[in-house]
Amino acid sequence: MAKRLSRNSFFSTDIGIDLGTGNTLVYVRGRGIVMSEPSVVTVNDKTGQVVAIGKEAKLMLGKTPPHIRAVRPLAHGVISDFEVTQELLAYFINKAQGGRTRLLGPRVVVGVPTGVTNVESRAVRDAALNAGAREVYIMEEPMAGAIGAKLPINQPVGTMVLDIGAGTTDIAVIALGGSVASQSSQVAGDRFNENIIDYVRSEFSLAIGERTAEETKINIGAVLTLESPLERQIRGRDLATGLPREVTLTDSHVREALSHSLDSLMESMKEVIERTPPELLSDVLEHGVTVFGGGALLRGLPDLLSKMLGVPVYVATDPLTAVVRGTGIVTEDPRPWKDAFMHEDAILSQT
């Protein structure tokens, strides 16, 4: 078996993909993380042709003429547009291989959110196969992130993880290579952006776009009071006059905007804890919760979660890449992680 894996890896490129709502990250075996680009595709509706993918496509958001449509093919972490997702995966797989055709298609490990249905996981698998993959392994993102964070998921120890992405937040308690209790919530990065947009509209009568909201969240977002307050000038359209206007936002404004969503996130975590067997819960109380994903970088979030839940909360090393690093580890040898793959029918070998 080892010889077969070595021979196949010589003729093919094994790839790990964190298929995210906001960004897609790609890991190539032997090279590490080679790409991190927005999960955006622009399509010309007149011709049906793809105009741009990734970084170039994101630059077009909100700036295209009527016949050029910017599409996010993943809504809340799952495929909402199969054809465009196939184009997205084909782009990343081809780029990961350097545009070269190999004797064997790549083995591809894809991380997807908790709670996707069999139909949705099959859609991901089929999109990867149609994009040229030889084998496809589907993993839930919390499991992949836990592997990437080097947590002891194959041991008889309860490990709790929180993956806060753009479209979904996945919460899971893992033991012996499987998810014991889990839940997926739509309270995530995109929802935080919407909260900021709604707050600015309500409090300042100013309309701002998604990009401005995201930059505000990253630059001054905080969920606890800071010793040194942060502020930022933002520009938008005055709802009364229709003219451009500038206002000053502070971290306290952002905190107020996010408060309701954070409460919902806490409730989801409490629900997972309530469904966790007592023996595993004692492990969680001892070892704490590991957070990864872009939301882990929100100022004060670990401290707030620890205070509300009564357990230690830690941010994984390089939280933005934990999931894709986990898929990369699995590409090295999928066999130790076979219990973590989703559904046997989501694993297809074409050799």
- List domains and CATH numbers for the chain: 2-144+322-349 (3.30.420.40), 152-187+258-318 (3.30.420.40), 189-257 (3.90.640.10)
Q: Does residue 11 surpass a pLDDT of 70?
A: no
The better pLDDT of the pair 98, 226 is held by 226
- C-alpha span between 272 and 182 (Å, rounded): 6
Average pLDDT on 68-89 reads 81
- H-type helices in the chain, by residue range? 2-11, 55-58, 82-96, 118-130, 141-148, 189-204, 210-220, 251-274, 278-287, 301-309, 322-332
Q: Are 20 and 324 in contact (CB under 8 A)?
A: no
Q: Does residue 103 surpass a pLDDT of 70?
A: no
pTM given for the model:
0.86
**156 is written with which tokens?**
């008889």
Q: Does residue 204 surpass a pLDDT of 50?
A: yes
Q: 276 pLDDT band (50/70/90 cuts)?
A: very high
- Highest averaged pLDDT of the listed ranges 75-79, 96-100, 108-112: 108-112
- C-alpha span between 123 and 306 (Å, rounded): 37
Furthest-apart CA atoms within the chain: distance in Å = 71
Q: Does residue 4 surpass a pLDDT of 50?
A: no
Average pLDDT on 183-191 reads 91
Query: Residue 60: beta bridge partners?
Result: none
CA dihedral 71→73→77→80, nearest 10 degrees, is 120
Average pLDDT on 264-268 reads 93
Q: Is 36 helix (H, G, I), strand (E, B) or coil?
A: strand
Residue with tokens 């806060």: 164
Q: Is 350 exposed, middle or buried (0-12, 13-18, 19+ CB in 10 A)?
A: exposed
pLDDT at 343: 59
